[in-house]
A and B are shown apart, each in its own frame.
Chain A
C-alpha cells in the first residue's frame, strides 16, 4: 500500500489539494481570495519538494496501466514548477476575481490529468487522462466570466477538443481492432504497418497534433489564446503543450517505434509547415497573446525537428527545450499579465514606451523574447541548438535550412516587440507598475532560469542521462 502511495504521490498530492480547496470553497468567504493564492503558492512548492525527495519508484502498477520512471518524475516536477510560477504571477489578476478557489481547482485537475497522461501505460488510461486534462481547461478559458471573448474561447476549445478526441478515440479503437490490445508494452510487437494500423496511427497522431497545435491542426490555438485570461493562456501554451510534447516523444519512441519510417516523414513535413505558417502568421499579429500563440506554433515546428532525430539526443533536446521554454515563455506571460491586469492593454503598440516607465520589467520581457528567439547567451539559444543538432543527425539539410530561415523571420517579430518597448515613444505614458512579492519572485525565478540554464551544462547532461532513443 505504502508503495502505491509513493508511486502515485504526485497525483495523490494534487487530490489532497483539490479537497482542501473544495473545503475552503464550501466554508470560505469571498475575502479569502488572497489567502487561497497564498495557500497555493506555498502548497505547490511543498508538493514539488515531496516529489523531489520521495521520487516515485521506477516500474509499473495496476497491471501496467500506470508507469513511472525518473524521466517521468522529472517531467512532472517541471510542469508542477511551471504551474507554481503561473500561480505566483496570477495573484494580482485573481484578487479581483470572485472565484479564486475554482480557478485553482480547475487548474490542478488539469494538472492531475496531465500527470496521469504522463504516467499512462495503456491507451485506456491515456484517453481518460487526456479528457481530464482537456475539459477543466476549457472551463478555465471561460474564466473571465464577464467577457464575451472568454466564453467564445471556451466554446471553440471544447468543440475543437471534442472533434479531436472523437478522431483520437476512433484511432484507438481501430488500433485495438488491429492488435487486440491497448497496452503500450504489447503494441509495438504487433505493429506490422498494415493500412489499417497506419490509419489508426494517423488518427492518434492527429490527436497529438491538435494538442500541440501543429499546422494544420492549429486553428483553434490563436482564437482560444486570445480570448482566455492571460494566466490561462500561459497554462495552455506552456504546461499543456509541454506535457503533450513529453507524451508525444515517448509515444513515438516506444509505442510507435516500428512505424518510425512513417512518422519520421510525417513530422519533418509538418515541422516545415508549422514553422513557416506559424511565423508568417506571427508577423502580422498586434495582439500579444495571438502573437505568442503563433510564435508557439513555430516553436513546435523546431520541437518536431528535434523529435525527428529519433535518438537519445532527440528526446533529451525536447525535454531540455521544454524546460527552457517554461521559463522563457512564463517570464513573457508574467509581464503581460501585469500589464494586462493593470491597464488592460494586450497589444504590441500598447507596450510603446514601456522601457521608459518600467525599465526593469521591460528588460525581463526583452530577455524572455531574446530567449524565445534563440539569441545567445540566453538558454533559448541552447534549447534550439540542441534541437537542431539532434535533427541534424539525420542529415536532413533542407529541413534545417528552412528552420534557419524561419529563425531569421522569428527574430524580426520578437525584436519588433523589443523595439516597441525600448525605442518607440507613446503619447499616453504607461503607469509605473508595482508587482507584489509573489510576482517579483516569479519574475526572478524565470530570469534566473533563462540566464543560468544555458550556462549550467549539468542540467542538459542530467536530462540526457534519463532519456532514451530508438
Chain B
C-alpha cells in the first residue's frame, strides 16, 4: 500500500506554501503570492483526488470487498515507559479520503476566489500564508492516526482560525470575535484533552485502530475497566466520550458552545466559506465519526447526548436564522443548524442493521453541505462587495447586476432547502430516514428545521436578488462589480457540485462497516419534508419577493418570541452573566484578593524585611579598620568560648 504514502504531500504542500509566504511573502508583488499558494494547493488537491480514485476504485478494498483502513506511514514520536508511545502518521480510510477531497477542493476554490476578492489588501501574502497554515492543519487533522495527533492539529486549526478571524485586526470587533472564538473553543478543548486522557488510560493506547478495537471488544479488559469504573453513576467510558464530544461541540459550534460562530463572521468572507462553513466546523462531526465504533457499541448514553445536542442545535439555530438581518450571520446560524443535522444523524444511528445508515447519511450531508454552503458564502462575498454592507436592508434587486452570483446562489438555496434533485435533498432524506427509524421526536425536529431552513434561505434569496432596489445604491454604481473570471469560476464549479453531488452513490463509498450500503430514497417518505420545504419557500416568496407588510405583522404576532430569537435567545448575555457576575465576582475576585493580600503580601513582607534588615546592619560597615579589627578579635574569642565551653 505504499502508493498511499504520497498522501504525506497533501498536508505538506500547503505547509510549504505557508512557510514560503510567511517568510518571503512580503517580497512578492501584486497577486503573485496568491498564485503561488494556489498552485501549491492545486498540487495538494490533485494528489487528494488521485488518492480518492485509487482508494475507492482500485486498491482500497480487501479480498472481501470491504474498504480497509490503511496506515501508510507511521513513526514513533515519543516513547514512554509501559509500551505507550505517541506516533505521528497517516491514516487512510473512507471518511478520511472523503474529507481530503472536501478540504482540498473547497480550499482550492477559496484560494482562487480570494485572488480577486482580497486583491489590493495590504496583507495579501499574509492572508494566503494563513490560508496555507489552516489547510495544512485541517488536512493533518483529517489524516491523524491517533488521538494525540488529532489534538495537536485540532489546536493548530484553532490557532489559524483565530488568526484569520482577526485578520482585520484594526477593527475592534474583529479582535473581540477572534478572542471569543479562541476562548470558547479552548474551553471546549479542555474537555477534549481530559477525554483523551480518560480514553487512553482506559485503553492503554492513543492509536485509533487499537483504541476502537479494545473499547468495543466486549470480552476485552480495556472495555471492562472503562465501564466498571464510574463517576456520578456514569461510566468512565461515557464520561470520556462525552468530554471528547465537548471538544467536538466547541469546534462545531453546537448549542450551547455555539456563540463564537456568528461573531467569527468578522473574518474575510472567503475565510468564512472555508473555515466556518465547510471544513473546520465539521471537525466535531468528523471526530465523532472517527470514534463512532466506541460511541455506537459501548456508550449508547453518549450517543443519546450527541443526538439531542445536534437536534436542539439544528432547530435552535434555524429559528434564530429566521430573524437575523446580517446575511453572513444568517449563513452562520444556518451552518450551525446543518451541522446539528449531521450530529443528530450520527447520534440516532446504531452500531448495526439499518440504523447504521445514519453514519453514512451524516458524512453524505457533510459532503454536500460543504459544497453548497461554501457556495453560499462565496456568493454572499460577491453581494457584500457589490453593496459594501452585510445588512439585508441595503440589498435588493441585485439579480441583474450579479447574474452568475444570482444563479449559483439560487442553486445553493435550493440545495440547502432540500429540493430535489439538488444535492441537499438526498443527504437530508438519508438523515431524516435514519432519525425516523429510531428517534421519531428528532425526526419531527428535523422536519420542522428543514421547513424553517427553506424559509430563511429564500428570505435571503428574495431579499438580496428581488424586491426593491435599495435606495443607497443606484444601478450605475453596481455595474461591473461581479469580479473577474477567477472569482466566478469557483461559484460555477461549486454550483455544478451542488446540483450533481446528490447523485453520487455515497453509500458505496462511505459506510461504517466498509461494505456498500443503499441509501434510502423513497418517494412516499420524501413527500412530507419536500412539500414542507416548498411551503417554506412559498411563504418566503410571499413575504419578501415584493415589499410587504407581512413580515412585520408576523413578527408582531410572535411578539416576545421574535424578539428573543432576534437577540439569539440571550445566550451571549447568559454567558456574560455567568462570567462577569458569577465567575469574576464570586471566584476570581476572592482569588485575586488572596493573591494580592496573602501571596503578594507574603512576598512583599519578605522584601520589606530584607530591606529593613539591610538598613539596620548597614551601620556595621563603618569604614574604620579599628572597628573591623574589633569585630575580628571579638568573633574569634566568641568562637573559642562557644566551642570550648558549650560544644566541647
Query: In the complex the two chains form, what is the Cα distance from A220 to B634 in whole Å?
Result: 15
B623 proximity list for chain A (CB < 8 A): 223
Query: In the complex the two chains form, what is the Cα distance from A223 to B627 in whole Å?
Result: 13
A288 shortest CB reach to chain B, Å: 17
**Binary interface encoding of chain B residues 156-200 relative to chain A, with 1 for a CB under 8 A from any of its CBs, else 0:** 000000000000000000000000000000000000000000000
Q: Is A262 an interface residue (CB 8 A)?
A: yes
**Binary interface encoding of chain B residues 197-224 relative to chain A, with 1 for a CB under 8 A from any of its CBs, else 0:** 0000000000000000000000000000
A223 proximity list for chain B (CB < 8 A): 623
Q: Is A156 an interface residue (CB 8 A)?
A: yes
Residues A160 and B647 in contact, CB atoms below 8 Å apart: no
Residues B636 and A167 in contact, CB atoms below 8 Å apart: yes
**Binary interface encoding of chain A residues 195-222 relative to chain B, with 1 for a CB under 8 A from any of its CBs, else 0:** 1001100110110001000001101101
A85 shortest CB reach to chain B, Å: 30
**A200 and chain B: residue at smallest CB distance:** B640
Q: Is B628 an interface residue (CB 8 A)?
A: yes
**A195 and chain B: residue at smallest CB distance:** B644
**Binary interface encoding of chain B residues 220-245 relative to chain A, with 1 for a CB under 8 A from any of its CBs, else 0:** 00000000000000000000000000
Q: Is A176 an interface residue (CB 8 A)?
A: no
Q: Is B631 an interface residue (CB 8 A)?
A: yes
Classify chain B: how many residues form its interface, as a range. 20 to 34
A408 proximity list for chain B (CB < 8 A): 606
**A167 and chain B: residue at smallest CB distance:** B636
Interface residues of B in 609-632 (CB under 8 A from A): 610-611, 613-615, 617-618, 620-621, 623, 625, 627-629, 631-632
B614 proximity list for chain A (CB < 8 A): 280-281, 283-284
A353 shortest CB reach to chain B, Å: 26
Q: Is B504 an interface residue (CB 8 A)?
A: no
Query: In the complex the two chains form, what is the Cα distance from A160 to B628 in whole Å?
Result: 8
Q: Is A255 an interface residue (CB 8 A)?
A: no
Identify which of B629, B640, B648 contacts A163 (C-beta below 8 A).
Answer: B629
Q: Is A164 an interface residue (CB 8 A)?
A: yes
Query: In the complex the two chains form, what is the Cα distance from A247 to B14 in whole Å?
Result: 65
**Binary interface encoding of chain A residues 266-283 relative to chain B, with 1 for a CB under 8 A from any of its CBs, else 0:** 100000000011011101
Q: Is A43 an interface residue (CB 8 A)?
A: no
Q: Is B27 an interface residue (CB 8 A)?
A: no
Q: Is A64 an interface residue (CB 8 A)?
A: no
Q: Is A265 an interface residue (CB 8 A)?
A: yes
B644 shortest CB reach to chain A, Å: 5
Identify which of A199, A266, A281, A405 contacts B618 (C-beta below 8 A).
Answer: A281
Query: In the complex the two chains form, what is the Cα distance from A159 to B628 in whole Å?
Result: 10
Q: Is A180 an interface residue (CB 8 A)?
A: no
B203 shortest CB reach to chain A, Å: 37
Identify which of B620, B621, B632 contacts A160 (C-beta below 8 A).
Answer: B632
Q: Is B643 an interface residue (CB 8 A)?
A: yes
Residues B635 and A193 in contact, CB atoms below 8 Å apart: no
Known: A198-B640, A283-B614, A409-B610. A222 touches B621 (CB 8 A): yes
Known: A219-B621, A409-B610. A160 touches B629 (CB 8 A): yes
Known: A195-B648, A265-B647, A281-B621. A216 touches B635 (CB 8 A): yes
Known: A156-B625, A280-B610, A281-B618. A198 touches B632 (CB 8 A): no
Residues A198 and B617 in contact, CB atoms below 8 Å apart: no
A202 proximity list for chain B (CB < 8 A): 636, 639-640, 643
A160 proximity list for chain B (CB < 8 A): 625, 628-629, 632
B633 proximity list for chain A (CB < 8 A): 163, 167
List 18 A-B pairs, Cβ < 8 Å.
Answer: A155-B625, A167-B632, A167-B636, A199-B640, A203-B636, A203-B640, A205-B639, A206-B636, A206-B639, A216-B632, A217-B635, A219-B620, A277-B617, A279-B610, A280-B610, A280-B613, A281-B621, A409-B610
| B contact residues vs A (CB 8 Å cutoff) | 606-607, 610-611, 613-615, 617-618, 620-621, 623, 625, 627-629, 631-636, 639-640, 643-644, 647-648
| A contact residues vs B (CB 8 Å cutoff) | 155-156, 159-160, 163-164, 167, 193, 195, 198-199, 202-203, 205-206, 210, 216-217, 219-220, 222-223, 262, 265-266, 276-277, 279-281, 283-284, 405, 408-409, 412
Ordered nearest first, which 3 A-B pairs have the shortest CB separation? Answer: A219-B628, A280-B614, A216-B635
